[in-house]
Amino acid sequence: MTQTARQSRGQPFTILTVVGARPQFVKAAAVSRALRGQSGMRELLVHTGQHFDREMSALFFEELELPEPVRNLEIGGGSHGAMTGRMLAALETAMTGFAPDAVLVYGDTNSTLAGALAAAKLAIPVIHVEAGLRSNRRSQPEEINRVVADRLSTMLLCPTRAAIANLERENVPGEIRHVGDVMYDATLFALERVRDRLAPLDRLGLRDRNYAVATLHRAENVDDGDRLRRLVDYLRTEAKEQPVVLPLHPRTRERLSRFDVDTTGLLLTSPLGYLEMTRLLAGAAHLFTDSGGMQKEAYFHRVPCTTLRDETEWVETVEAGWNRLWQGGPRTGQREIADYGTGTAAARAVEAIRHHFRI
């Protein structure tokens, strides 16, 4: 049924949202809250299962008040190609069954790529939230996912002006809109719930501003034993100045064991839920991370960040003096980043969708 036919029969404009990994749960929660109660619209959430354990998936749904998925594909593990292929087939079946008017994808994971490909092959419009980011490193799976998803998208909702410039330089088709960063919306939501919680700090024997937080999970860092060892040694050196808490992604824990990496001096923990991680980061003196999203979260909490990579797609965090590459130069003077908005990015995204599809 076409969109016009749906509307003429009084049926809502249906958006099928594809999520699969922690950063997508956080972003989708903000947009889902903005979509709820919208007249003439409804959202169906499909979880690919890319992150499938409680700490990486179910707990996030609970804490972020995400709606229950209408389908969990339970596809996790395996190579990039195998995982993406299984997701593509399963999502095609789901989209054929639910017949959405548009498919919404987030960020740069295999779930993003599979969702965009499945929708495009079924001639369903694709909406990409966090479009236009570029690390300009094609060896990164995330960069490939971003570029392909952007080329397939009908609507490209960008967090920054730099992202818009990237899309314009590449002559990417589709409507390009700057809406701000939905991660900032999510951070404000979480802060209201954790501001007075001290349990994560008490459990680790920490006080606000007397510790650093670190995260490591990207394949380029943890799948190479020599590089992983160098990064951990770097963190161990930093830990001589202040405690460094390292919540371990399941893959990172396995690689540390496989490569027999010495983590002496670091405070290792199991993966944390979103609210606990928010509280830990909000009270930190510094963040060391290879996560794209956490570079921004550090800025939202005004916590200086060191990115454990050789480049970053969030170039404005470096230009504004809140971030630096671990082997780069010193930070510049700190300034505010206006592009991220004021915490209304999700509402602006929904407004842009309504306008584009004339809902």
Each residue of 327-336: pLDDT tens digit?
987 777 899 9
On the question of a common fold for 3-181+342-357 and 189-339, the answer reads: yes
Q: Indicate which residue of 178, 217, 249, 286 is catalytic.
A: 217
- What pLDDT does 53 receive? 61
Q: What is the CATH number of domain 3-181+342-357?
A: 3.40.50.2000
Query: Could you tell me if 217 and 252 are in contact, meaning their C-beta atoms sit under 8 angstroms apart?
Result: yes
Statement: residue 54 has pLDDT above 80: no
Contacts of residues 313-317 at CB distance under 8 Å and 24 or more positions apart, as own/partner, are: 313/133, 313/134, 313/135, 313/146, 314/133, 315/162, 316/160, 316/162
Query: Could you tell me if 268 and 246 are in contact, meaning their C-beta atoms sit under 8 angstroms apart?
Result: yes
Across the range 46-65, mean pLDDT stands at 76
d(CA 44, CA 67): 9
Query: Could you tell me if 354 and 34 are in contact, meaning their C-beta atoms sit under 8 angstroms apart?
Result: no
Q: Which of 71, 30, 32, 25 is nearest to 48 (CA)?
A: 71
Share of residues in the chain with pLDDT > 70 (%): 96
Which are the contacts of 242, defined by CB distance < 8 A and separation ≥ 6? 210, 211, 212, 285, 286
Domain extents for the chain?
3-181+342-357, 189-339
Query: Could you tell me if 7 and 322 are in contact, meaning their C-beta atoms sit under 8 angstroms apart?
Result: no
Across the range 351-357, mean pLDDT stands at 98
Q: What is the pLDDT of residues 278-293, one digit of tens each?
A: 999 999 999 999 998 9
**Cα of 183 vs its chain's centroid, Å:** 8
Residue 217 known to be catalytic? yes
Q: What is the pLDDT of residues 237-276, one digit of tens each?
A: 999 999 999 999 888 999 999 999 999 999 999 988 889 9
Residue with the two structure tokens 């509402």: 347
Q: Which of 165, 177, 100 is nearest to 134 (CA)?
A: 165
Q: What backbone phi and psi angles, to 5 degrees, belong to 28? A: -65, -35
CATH class of 189-339: alpha beta
DSSP conformation letters of 188-210: HHHHHHHTT--HHHHHHT--TTS
Across the range 15-30, mean pLDDT stands at 93
